Amino acid sequence: MGAPSINIVFKELATSTIERGDRGIVVLLLKDTVPSTNPIVMSAVSDIPDTLTDANKNQITLAFMGYVNPPKQVIAYVVATDTTDYTEAQHYLETIKWDYFAFPEIADADVTPFAAWIKGLRDNIDKKVKAILPNCPSDHEGVINYANNNNKEGDKTYTAKEYCSRAAGLIAGTPLTISATFAPLNELDDCDHLTKAEMDAAVDAGKFILMNDGEKVKVVRAVNSLVTTTENKGNKFKKIKIVDIMDLMYGDIKKTVSDKYIGKVTNDYDHKVLLMSAISVYFEQLEISGLLAKGSSSVYIDLKAQSAYLKSANYKMPDGRTVDDMTTQEIKEANTGDKVFIGAGTTILDSMEDVSLNIAV
């Protein structure tokens, strides 16, 4: 395997990132008569089956409203109306591709368990999906805490639960080059009325809320429920836009490495360099697309991790020198069995959200 083919794969992935990121996949868990074909995969409102209840048709329609674009697909997984155990549905959804999840009829007691399910998918099996859940202070980047309790459209007022589908579609239809902050929900006439201090406090608490600015109803700030930051998860992880780009990069690199490298390439230093070069090409294209800061990306052998592995394996040079006596280049070129230790760094670009303007008169 030579460098050109894998470079081309990564380059094509990167150049199509904007297009793919514009149109995510929304999964809705619906209670209804279970159809013979389940789930129901829809690419447009016209695909909604007549067999569903009017309420469920409306939920799917809300999801398809999107933002700049509608979602690429809405997948409705249907369970019986008396269902209280969602294990089978969750197991199925773990096997298919999707980006955002909502459950319009979720019981209060099920909100936290569903949040835990999403956390487990992201943290334990590397399935980088997100859920929009009502009034769910989950403190996690994979859960968007939709906390706008009154969503008024004409004579109808949707609860937070009933409007999570709309939020899921809105986020799914937001291009990666922009944020859903201040995204208008033109169908709404009114929403919760909060003071500026109350809105600031809600956002700081990881709540996805709306505001009526006197002309339109719009998103206050596109944040997820993450509140507690750590060394590995800083403030950037609170932004839906940033996490979406991270998830897309993770998925692209993981899939390509799995398809083109694992089990197919000799694990020597030369092939590690080829892999790092290919990932660098991917990052460079994302910089050109305006998702990453220009010149901010680097890919390298993770010396700390590689050294730790070599020490654990009691690695020695032919002349008997141990890791502590090896040069940096010798550590990079050392035989690491079937293990590959690569590190990377980059800067994901955010969108304009806080503008300060001083006018001198």
88 is a domain residue: yes
263 is a domain residue: no
> Is the four-CA dihedral 124, 205, 186, 31 of positive or negative sign?
positive
> Is the four-CA dihedral 56, 111, 175, 203 of positive or negative sign?
positive
Residues 350, 241 contacting (CB under 8 angstroms): yes
Instruction: Give dist(CA 136, CA 206) in Å, integer.
Output: 9
Which of 15-29, 51-65, 73-87, 297-311 has the weakest average pLDDT?
A: 15-29
CB contact set of 317 (below 8 Å; sequence gap of 6+): 325, 326, 330
SS3 73: strand
Exposed e or buried b for every residue in 245-265, given b needs 16+ CB within 10 A?
Answer: bbbbbebbbeebbeebbeeeb
Is the predicted pLDDT of residue 62 greater than 90, yes or no? yes
Average pLDDT over residues 81-100: 97
210 is a domain residue: yes
Tens of pLDDT, residue by residue over 91-122, are: 999 999 999 999 999 999 999 999 999 999 99
Tens of pLDDT, residue by residue over 338-351, are: 999 999 999 999 88
Strand pairing of 143-146 and 130-134? parallel
What is the average pLDDT score of the chain?
92
SS3 50: coil
SS3 157: strand
Q: Does the predicted TM-score (pTM) go above 0.85?
A: yes
What tokens does 331 get?
A: 């550590």
170 is a domain residue: yes
The position carrying tokens 């549905």 is: 89
Tens of pLDDT, residue by residue over 159-168, are: 999 999 999 9
159 is a domain residue: yes
Binned at pLDDT 50, 70 and 90, residue 2 comes out as very low
pLDDT attached to residue 360? 76
- Quote the number of domains for the chain: 1
Print the domain residue range for 140: 22-241
What tokens does 352 get?
A: 């304009």
Instruction: Give dist(CA 246, CA 237) in Å, integer.
Output: 9
What tokens does 77 get?
A: 């997984």
234 is a domain residue: yes
119 is a domain residue: yes
Q: For the chain, what's the residue count?
A: 361
pLDDT attached to residue 167? 98
pLDDT attached to residue 76? 98
pLDDT attached to residue 15? 65
pLDDT attached to residue 18? 56
Is the predicted pLDDT of residue 317 greater than 90, yes or no? yes
Which of 90-99, 196-205, 309-318, 351-360 has the weakest average pLDDT?
A: 351-360
Average pLDDT over residues 296-325: 96
By percentage, how much of the chain surpasses pLDDT 90? Answer: 80
Is the predicted pLDDT of residue 39 greater than 60, yes or no? yes
Q: Residue ranges of the alpha helices (H) in 205-327?
A: 240-260, 269-288, 303-312
220 is a domain residue: yes
What tokens does 298 get?
A: 């680097």
The position carrying tokens 């197991």 is: 91
pLDDT attached to residue 209? 98
